[in-house]
Amino acid sequence: MTRESFFDLVEIRTKLASLFPFIIAVLFANTYFHSFHWGKTLFFFFGMLAFDMATTAINNYMDFRKAHSEEYKYQENVIGRDKLSEKTVVLIIFGLIGFAAIVGITLAIQTGWLLLVMGCACCFIGVFYTFGPIPLSRMPLGEVFSGVTMGLGIFAITIYINSYDKKPFFMELDLQHFAITGSTTAALAVIWASLPLIATIANIMLANNICDLEQDITNHR
């Protein structure tokens, strides 16, 4: 697989949609909570980027496998067009997800288990957005799921990583005790600040789906 084919498979050009809430979250954490952990932030960035690339690769793989149009399958989809091995594509997907999981578990051990809960929720939506018998993207609420996952999920996780030591929201967990604590004001501030990001990403996904409407109809999507 060439570098160009890999970048087409993961649609590297679309990763700005993840980068935007990430950057805004770093600025928000530094301004609102006066806290910034560059090492953990950079580590999370690579994990976030890996998982985002994995979800896009899953989308292209599932579109290839379920395509009804031979023209789309072998001339437009990168897997058929560049004659990529399906086994190689699957290995890339699992490799990217595995790396993201290592990053998430490592950061959860360092910062608290609430990160693992938020990360798993985002990963579940990310994978099943295009995978499964009835992907979330095929539902009328697909844009809402993607908007909340990226606009609020990435935003909140990035803020949490940079402010975990101040515990604006935190989960305590052991064999005998479980509790989620935090500041209501801080939580509402994060949600309020994320609303423009949620709306922006949902609109990007809606515009993308509108552009692909004829292709989706042809391939029974």
| Residuewise pLDDT in 10s, the chain (221 residues) | 788 888 888 888 888 888 989 999 999 999 999 889 999 999 999 999 999 999 989 988 888 887 777 777 787 778 888 888 889 999 999 999 999 999 999 999 999 888 999 999 988 888 887 776 777 777 777 778 888 888 899 999 999 999 988 888 877 777 677 788 888 899 999 999 999 999 998 888 888 777 766 766 665 56
Largest Cα–Cα distance of the chain, in whole Å?
59
Taking residue 141's Cβ as centre, other Cβ atoms within 10 Å add up to 12
The pLDDT, as a whole number, for residue 220 is: 59
Least Cα distance to 27 among 19, 18, 36 occurs for 36
pLDDT of residue 105: 94
The alpha carbon torsion through 166, 154, 97, 180 (nearest 10 deg) reads: 40
pLDDT of residue 176: 74
Nearest to 48 by CA among 74, 79, 17: 17
- The whole-model pTM stands at 0.86
CA dist 210 and 137 (Å) reads 12
Residue 99: how many CB atoms within 10 A of its CB? 17
CA distance 62 to 184: 41
C-alpha pair distances (Å), 19 with each of 24, 88, 137: 9, 27, 21
Which of the 8 DSSP states describes residue 113? Answer: T
Residues 6+ apart with CB under 8 A from 161: 37, 40, 41, 44, 107, 111, 115
